[in-house]
């Protein structure tokens, strides 16, 4: 038996990410804001983590990794994204900010010019990264979209 949400949202016309976001918004209550903070691990073949914390009235999202755990030597080098944004129900939209590591530098001026974003949809115990604007930011083949399982509270 199909739910009322299935008939309202035809998966034939929507991409997987859009369907996941709409399903969560239309069919599930958003998790309380306190429940989205923590560490998440990608559920698929992508070796990636998602860390979420509250800071100064906004949420800070940190994505690390992005390579395929099955690609061995062809895996792109690890990528790191740090973005800030607001939680609207179950959806967090955040803009990339500056990142400084030993091997990577992405300044505030460049972040402001490029306006890259990440979008995450939360549900109890999980998160779905539906968009991460990494083309030209991370190495070729790096990927962060997909479902993440909550593993630790921060």
- pLDDT of residue 131 exceeding 90, the answer is yes
Would you tell me how many other CB atoms lie within 10 Å of the CB of residue 152? Answer: 10
Q: Are 137 and 113 in contact, with CB atoms under 8 Å apart?
A: no
- Which of 6-10, 32-36, 74-78 is least confident? 6-10
Task: Report the run of H or E that residue 74 belongs to, with start and end.
Answer: none
Task: Choose from 20-24, 29-33, 55-59 the range with maximum mean pLDDT.
Answer: 55-59
Interval 94-121: pLDDT, tens: 999 999 888 788 999 999 999 999 999 9
Q: Are 138 and 154 in contact, with CB atoms under 8 Å apart?
A: no
Question: Which has the closest alpha carbon to 126: 4, 33, 35?
Answer: 35
Q: In the CATH hierarchy, which fold is given to the domain comprising 30-152?
A: Lipocalin (2.40.128)
Would you tell me how many other CB atoms lie within 10 Å of the CB of residue 107? Answer: 12
Residue ranges of domains in the chain: 30-152
| Tokens describing residue 11 | 């998966």
């Amino acid at each position: 038996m199909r739910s009322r949400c299935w008939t309202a949202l035809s998966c034939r016309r929507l991409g997987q990410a859009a369907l996941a976001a709409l399903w969560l918004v239309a069919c599930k209550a958003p998790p309380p804001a306190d429940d989205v903070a923590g560490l998440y691990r990608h559920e698929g073949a992508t070796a990636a983590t998602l860390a979420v914390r509250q800071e100064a009235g906004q949420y800070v999202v940190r994505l690390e990794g992005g390579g395929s755990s099955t690609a061995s030597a062809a895996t792109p080098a690890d990528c790191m994204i740090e973005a800030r944004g607001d939680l609207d129900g179950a959806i967090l939209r955040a803009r990339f900010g500056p990142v400084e590591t030993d091997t990577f530098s992405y300044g505030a001026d460049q972040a402001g010019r490029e306006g890259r974003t990440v979008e995450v949809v939360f549900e109890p115990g999980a998160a779905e990264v539906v968009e991460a604007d990494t083309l030209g930011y991370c190495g070729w083949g790096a990927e962060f979209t997909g479902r993440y399982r909550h593993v630790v509270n921060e």
